[in-house]
Amino acid sequence: MSKYIIRGGESLCGELTIKGAKNSVLTLLAACVLVDGTVTLHDCPHIADVNAMCAILEKLGCRIKRDGDDVTVDGSGISSGKIPSGLASELRSSVFLLGPLLSRLKKAKVAYPGGCDIGLRPIDIHLTGLRELGVRIVEKHGYIDCDSSRARASEVMLDLPSVGATENLMMTCVFLDGTSVIRNCAKEPEIVDLQNFLNAMGAKVSGAGTGVIRVNGVKRLFGVEYTPIPDRIVAGTYLIGAAMCGGELTLNNVNPEHISSLIAKLPKSTCKITCARDKINIICKGRCESIPKVETTYYPGFPTDLQTQILTLQTVSDGTSVIVENIFETRFKTVPQLLKMGADVTVNGRTAVVRGVPCLTGAEVCATDLRGGASLVLAGMCAQGETVVDNVFHIDRGYENLAEILPSLGVKIKRI
**Residue type at 157?**
M
Q: What are phi and psi of 146, to 5 degrees?
A: -125, 145
Q: Where are the alpha helices (DSSP H) in 341-415?
A: 370-382, 393-396, 402-405
Sign of the torsion formed by the C-alpha atoms of 11, 280, 29 and 103: positive
For residues 242 and 274, the answer to whether their CB atoms sit within 8 Å is no
DSSP label of 382 = H
Instruction: Answer yes or no: 288 catalytic.
Output: no
Sign of the torsion formed by the C-alpha atoms of 89, 93, 99 and 100: negative
Which runs of E-coded beta strand occur in 18-106? 38-41, 63-67, 70-74, 82-83
Q: Return the HEC string of 351-364.
A: EEEEECCCCCECCE
For residues 321 and 332, the answer to whether their CB atoms sit within 8 Å is no
Say which of 44, 54, 116, 146 is annotated catalytic.
116
Angle subtended by helix axes 189-200 and 163-173, to nearest 10 = 10
The residues that are catalytic are 116
